[in-house]
Every structure is written in structure tokens, then in C-alpha cells.
Structure 1
Amino acid sequence: MNLQISILTPEKPFWNGQAEEIILPTETGEMGVLKNHAPIITGLDVGAMLVRTKEEWTSYALMGGFAVVKQNKVTILANEAESAATIDAEEAKNAFEIAKGNLEKAEGVKQKVEANFAYKRAKARFQVVKVVNKFS
């Protein structure tokens, strides 16, 4: 393994492990990290983080935060994180469809902002489940 990954949430250390490659959901798009990546600090958007080991891809839903990459160590400070293994696929799909509909019907700035945030959370959870099924 090449990268040491740590995901920390306000409640507890969420996950520690090693990976060959990770893909982070940054505020400016997805960012891949391989061994010997240049040092960087980046803001994280709500989205799916993909982790590749020699054997498989796994995914985690991150609900925003920051990532620090330095000397083959990636430290992720996430507002919340969820593993694909803990997400019910059918429930995630239904929540995504509902959030999508609510976003389309939202009126006014406050309602649109709240609906957009709920949509992004539901989309991240649904993406994580789809990735697991895709690579299984």
C-alpha cells in the first residue's frame, strides 16, 4: 500500500487504512490522489470518496470538510462520514428521488438552499451504494 488514510469526524475517528489511490469530492470537482502527491489542503464537498486497494474499490459518503495530503498521508476532517456497508440501497435510492423532487419544487432562496443541501446528501449516499454494486 502507498497511502495512509485517516477519516476523522467530530464524534470519533471514522476510518483508518491504506490505499493505492483515492478520489476525493472537492469543492472544485473530483481530485485523485496517488503516492507522492504534492502537499495540498483542499475543501471537500458533499459527495462520494472512492478508495482503491490492490484488491478492490470501496466508497464512503463524505458530508463536506477538509483534506490534507502530505508525505503519503491523507487526513480527512469530515463533518460526517458514512460507509457503503451501512447504507440501505433501496432507502438511499428512495431518499435521492424524494430529494430530487423537492429540489425541483423548491421556491424561494431559503427553501432552495435547504433542498439543494438535502439533495447533495442523498445523492452522495446513493452514489456510494451504486459504486459498491458496480464494482462487486
Structure 2
Amino acid sequence: MKTVTVNIVTPDGPVYDSEVSMVIAKTTSGEIGVLPGHIPTVAPLAIGAVKLKGQNSEEFVAISGGFIEIRPDKISILAPSAEVANEIDLARAKEALARAEQRLAKKQDSIDFQRAELSLKRAMNRINVHEGNI
């Protein structure tokens, strides 16, 4: 089975580096599935999960946007933040979700709603990836 090298990197350093047979990611214009030998592509990523399929395994990484660069033999994902499913701190993610929901419920002029909504989406994504609800 053909494989492709996948690197997921954040400003804090590498998060994932391995060989996989398929990558599924959520771009800003929809989902993309990538197999080895894919044509070179660059696309912006939405907040979501990246699914990494190996020969006998599947792994998920929660990302908060960024870019995917696809080459025939290598896929690079550059994200502001990324966490492998089994490394997500569920309690911290639930606290972030509660804070974002409280900010949105206040409906005050001083609250930046767009920022609060993005915080809510990131927290929900991390919880869903950790719990496997993808």
C-alpha cells in the first residue's frame, strides 16, 4: 500500500509526523481527501478534525484552521494550534466551551462576538475529536 508523509506543525512545534495512506481534512470550501500521488495543492483549513488513515489504524487531530500544502509524496499542515485526540485535555476544553457560551449569552456591546464564536467552535471541535464524535 502506498503511503505519504504527513507533518502537522504549530508555532509551538511539531504535533504529528508519520506515514499514512490517506488524509481527510476540512478546508474552508469543503472536505478534501488526499491519497499518495495527489497533485500539488495549497488550501486554507477550517476549524475541524484531520483524519489520518494508516494501514490498520485511524488517528484524529483537532486543528484550529491554518493551511494544508499537498505534494505527491508529502502533506504539510500548518495550524495555529493542533492536538492529537488522545492528548486533548477534556476538562480544559469543557471549561473553554463554558466560557465561550457565557460570553455569547451576555449579549453586551463590549463582547467581541466573532472571537467568542471562534472560541466556541474550537472548544466544540476539541471535545468532539477527543470523544470520537466526528
TM range (shorter): 0.7 to 0.9
How big is the shift at 1:96?
Answer: 3.6
Number of equivalent positions? 133
In 1, Cα distance between equivalents of 2:37 and 2:24? 15
CA RMSD of aligned residues (A): 2.4
Residue number in structure 1 paired with 2:83: 82
Matches within 5 A, 1:54-93: 54-89=55-90, 91-93=92-94
Residue number in structure 1 paired with 2:12: 11
Give TM-score scaled by structure 1 length: 0.81
How big is the shift at 1:48?
Answer: 1.1
Q: Which runs of structure 1 show a deviation greater than 2 angstroms over 4 or more consecutive aligned residues?
A: 88-111
Q: Give 5+ residue unaligned stretches, structure 2.
A: none
Aligned amino acid, residue 57 of structure 2: E
Residue number in structure 1 paired with 2:48: 47
**Relative to structure 1, is the Cα distance of residues 68 and 90 closer, same or farther in structure 2, using a 3 angstrom cutoff?**
same
Give TM-score scaled by structure 2 length: 0.82
Cα pair 1:47 1:123 within 8 Å, conserved: no
Q: Is 1:116 aligned with 2:117?
A: yes
Q: Would you tell me which structure has more helix in proportion to its own residues?
A: 1
In 2, Cα distance between equivalents of 1:109 and 1:42? 34
In 1, Cα distance between equivalents of 2:7 and 2:122? 21
In 2, Cα distance between equivalents of 1:101 and 1:76? 32
**Relative to structure 1, is the Cα distance of residues 41 and 56 closer, same or farther in structure 2, using a 3 angstrom cutoff?**
same
Q: Give 5+ residue unaligned stretches, structure 1.
A: none
Aligned amino acid, residue 10 of structure 1: P
**Relative to structure 1, is the Cα distance of residues 56 and 102 closer, same or farther in structure 2, using a 3 angstrom cutoff?**
farther
Residue number in structure 1 paired with 2:35: 34
